[in-house]
Amino acid sequence: MIALAMSAAVSVNAQDADVSPPAVPTAVTATANNANQVLIVWSASTDNVGVAGYYVYRNGGLIANTGSGSYIDSPAAGAYTYAVAAYDAAGNVSQRSSQTALVTIVSDTTPPSAPAHLVATVSSTSITLTWDLSSDNMAVAGYNVYRDGLQINSGPITTNTYVDSSGLISDRSYTYSVRAFDPSGNTSETSGVLARYDTTAPTTPPGLTASYISTNSIILKWQPGSDNIGLVGYYVFRNGLQLATTSGTTYTDTGLTTSTAYTYTVNSYDAAGNLSNPTAITVTTLAVAAPAPMPNVYAPTAALQTTIPPAGTAGGTNTTANGTTVSGNAIVFFGPLKFGVQSNDVKNLQLLLVKGGFLAPNFATGYFGSLTQKAVQAFQCKQAIVCSGGPLTTGWGAIGPRTKKALSTL
C-alpha cells in the first residue's frame, strides 16, 4: 500500500467587506419659491470610506438620486414633506433624515401681465425691441418674441429687450409682438408694434453755399435732402470735425480766425441712422479791414460831438448834423431801420457793421437789403441777442431796442 503525503495547510487573509452605512443627513430643509418649485438642502454626511450620493424622498417615495447637497423639485399643487438618505459605493444606505416641515404648492392659473410700451428702434442693420417688464402672482419666467406671427427667439428671453437682425428685407414693414409666460405655463396677452426696416440712405442735401461771410463768422445754407421714409436732420462738419446736428437748413459758425479757409461738409440722415453722401464747400473768412481812418459812423456828412454823457444822465442827448442822436450810451435813429428802407440812418447802421467786421469794407449804400439783414443777424448772434428764426418771428435780422443798444459798443 502506498501512503499519500498530506500537503501543508495554507491560510488566506481576505479583506473585510464595507458594511458600514453613511451617517444620516442632517439639517434638511425644504423651501418653496415664487415659481412653485421646492428647494431641498441638507448638510453633507460622513462615511468610513466615502459618501457616493443621496436619495431624496417626497411624501415617503423616492424621487431623485443626486451627488450634490441640494435638489430642486417641481411638483404639482399639493402639500409635501421631504427626507434624504445617504449611500456609499458599497451600496450601504443610511437611515432617512427626519421629515421636513410641510411645504404647500398652490395651483397657479393666473397669467402674467402683458408687456407694456413695446417700442421698435430701427437701425441700418437691425430692429431692437424694448418693453416694460411684466408682473405675475408667482413669477415671470421669460418672454417670447414673434415677427409676423412666428416666434423668432430660440430660447426664453429673460430681459426686456431683443435685437432682430436675421432675414430682414429693406423697406419692408414687420409686425412684432411679445408675450410673457410664468413657470406654470400661463401666458400673457401680447403687445404689438409695427416697424419698417430701412437701409436706404437719404439724398445728399443740394445747394450748399455760404450765405454770409465776415472776418469771424460764416452762415451756411443748403436745400433740403429727401428720403424714402422720412428725413430727420443734418450733420454739419468743419474740417472733418462735427459741429452740430440740426433739423434746419442753415447753420451759423462763429469764433473763426480772419483770412482762414474752412472746409464744411453737410450730410442728411434718417431715423434708421442711414447717412447720405456729403456735400462740401470751402470758405475763407474776410481779412481785417486796413487800419485807415474810419468815416464817422454816426453822421457821414458831419462830425459827432466828442462828449457823450454817461448812460442815465439827465438830458444826456447829443444830436448829429443829419439827425442821428446818441442818448446816454445808446444810439438813437430817427428814421425806420427795416428791410427795403434807404436813408442816412441805414447808411450809419451799415458803417457800424463794417466797423465791427460784419459787412465788407466800405459797404455803406444806405439801402437795407439782404446783405445788411444778414450782417445784422450775424451781429445779433455774436452778441447773444437772438440767433435763429427770422425778422418777423424772433426779431433775428430786425433792429430792435436791444440791438440798437448793442450797436453802440461797436
In tens, the pLDDT along 327-380 reads 444 566 777 888 888 888 888 888 888 888 888 877 788 888 888 898 899 898
Residues 53 and 128 in one domain: no
* Amino acid 324: pLDDT: 45
Cell of 52: 457616493
* Amino acid 119: pLDDT: 96
Q: How many structural domains compose the chain?
A: 4
**284, 306, 326: which is the final residue of a domain?**
284
* Amino acid 226: pLDDT: 94
Separation between Cα atoms, residue 350 and residue 336, nearest integer Å: 14
Separation between Cα atoms, residue 308 and residue 243, nearest integer Å: 42
Cell of 250: 442753415
Q: Which domain holds residue 235?
A: 209-284
- Could you identify the residue written with the cell 468743419? 238
CB 36 within 8 A of CB 183: yes
16 or 339, greater pLDDT: 339
pLDDT in tens, 143-179: 999 999 999 999 889 999 999 999 999 889 999 999 9
Asked if residue 348 is part of any domain, the answer here is yes
Asked if residue 150 is part of any domain, the answer here is yes
Tell me what the mean pLDDT of segment 40-49 comes to.
95
Average per-residue pLDDT in the chain?
85
pLDDT bucket at 16, cuts 50 / 70 / 90: low
Residues 383 and 331 in one domain: yes
Asked if residue 273 is part of any domain, the answer here is yes
**Plot region of 149 (φ>0 → left; ψ -120 to 50 → alpha; else → beta):** left
% of the chain surpassing 70 pLDDT: 85
pLDDT in tens, 84-98: 999 999 999 999 999
Identify any residues that bridge with 128 across adjacent strands, giving them in sequence order: 121, 163
Whole-angstrom Cα Rg for the chain: 44
**284, 306, 334: which is the final residue of a domain?**
284
CATH code of the domain containing 143: 2.60.40.10
- Could you identify the residue written with the cell 400673457? 188
**284, 300, 328: which is the final residue of a domain?**
284
Residues 142 and 189 in one domain: yes
Task: State which H helix or E strand residue 403 sits in.
Answer: helix 401-407
Tell me what the mean pLDDT of segment 119-124 comes to.
92
Residues 213 and 173 in one domain: no
| Minimum mean pLDDT range among 55-69, 247-261, 269-283, 353-367 | 353-367
* Amino acid 153: pLDDT: 96
Q: Provide the whole-model pTM.
A: 0.48
181 or 305, greater pLDDT: 181
Query: Distances in Å between the alpha carbon of 371 and those of 78, 202, 261, 383?
Result: 87, 32, 21, 18
pLDDT of 3 > 70? The answer is: no
